Amino acid sequence: MSADASASDAAADAASAADASARPLASRPAGTPVGALPQGRIVSHLPVVDTPAELLPGALDHYQLFQDVSGDDLAAWAAARSIAPEVMERIDGLWDRHEYDTSLLQVLAGADLLTDGLDVPGHRQLSPLGAGLVNMELSRIDGSVATMVGVQAGLALRSIVLLGSEEQKQRWVEPLVTGREFGAFALTEPDHGSDSVSLETVARRDGEDWVITGEKRWIGNGAGGHVSVVWARVDDPADAALHGQVSGFLVEQSLPGYEAERIVGKTALRAIDQAHIRLDGVRVPDAARLPGARSFKDTGRVLYATRAGVSWGALGHALACFEAAVEYAGARVQFGKVLAKHQHVQVRLARMLGTLVSMQLQCLRLAQLEAAGEVRADQASLAKGFCTRGAREIAADARDLLGGNGILLQNSVARHMADIEALHTYEGTETMQALIVGRAITGVSAFA
């Protein structure tokens, strides 16, 4: 073959690749003016579908990693996707007004999405993969909605299912999983975020009761909910094994001494409330203590599971931003051609895709390990740190590619970009995850 022929073939291949990459991920033809999209949106949200290829079209599943998803996992994934139209009708306004629409919990419950992989009789039993896909898809729709599930099911419900008594499960599990009542997970304190093991809230034994005093901060559903799983240091000299340890208590938010103030002025997760809680001698019966919570290691059992969920959530945000960037690049015309035909745009999209695929691989492997009962804390931490960092990078690139339109709420990217900042911090900052991984690598702890 001649050099000229080789060059000609290469040019043809390049042109073909450019056309393919410019092709939108949904149904809009390339070059359609942005203003012609429904409600001016960049991302078109898909209806209920039957195959993974319809849920993650084109480059969103570049290595076809999700094409074998089937059965209950696929049904749960599609159920999560099915609520997108109802959520998207409301979310921009809610986010802009900093308003928590609790009726969205009933929407989630109506699709049986409030189990987060837990075994709850009479409800959808999700595998680790299915739970991850639901988390991913909800985050792809909106971070506040995904956090509703994370707080209600991943933290509050999981604490009760894993560590609660049968009586506690009978009282709280069904109301929480059906969204009739709202649950909170109160661990973080004003002075103890990353070092939550040093929490100062105290539960003092007083006869048959516990008296709880302290403060909590950044507590989802902590105001206007029904029950908070409050983590406190036990003061009970009569119980040598429990005294000084951290335990969990089911505190009804209507009790005297429980005061919660909604945190305002947030720049992320603006469509769900977090609260600052003051516990001033709140008295609960001994039956309110989670019997399986006898040290901070038991708290960790809940947190390790949710870190995997945060990884999937970060993947969902990244998918939404990458999808928006590709669609915009195929529609926006600058200098006489769509952005997708500019070399530097393709280079940036390729880099974003590489990060996205790496995130997908980590999440899928984590689900496999969890299903086999072999996942370690350091593996969950590695995925959490990597995926939230990767999502931040993809969101920033997508925002930049959309230019000035990237800061409009109606185009979704700015909302995802803001929300990923919260995910990058909660359930342990990137630094804390790195220290957990570093300890596994070296065998040496560097926490103090």
393 catalytically annotated: no
CA distance 377 to 382: 9
> Which position has the token pair 């921009």?
92
Residue 398 host element (H or E): helix 377-401
Residue 32, phi then psi, degrees to nearest 5: -65, 130
Are 242 and 253 spatial neighbours (Cβ–Cβ below 8 Å)? no
CB-CB neighbours of 35 under 10 Å = 6
Strand pairing category for 246-252 and 227-235:
antiparallel
Task: Write down the H helix ranges in 158-284.
Answer: 158-163, 166-177
Give the integer Cα–Cα distance in Å for 405 and 399: 8
DSSP bridge partners of 220:
274
- Half-sphere exposure for 84 (CA within 13 Å, toward CB): 23
- Nearest Cα residue to 384 out of 306, 442, 441: 306
Catalytic residue among 181, 215, 323, 427: 427
| Distance from C-alpha of 184 to C-alpha of 102, rounded to nearest angstrom | 13
Largest CA distance in the chain: 93
Cβ contacts of residue 294 below 8 Å, gap of 6+?
Answer: 241, 242, 245, 247
> What are the C-alpha distances in Å from 409 to residues 43, 92, 137, 316?
12, 6, 19, 17
Burial status of residue 127 (CB atoms within 10 A of its CB: 0-12, 13-18, 19 or more): middle
Residues with a catalytic annotation lie at 427
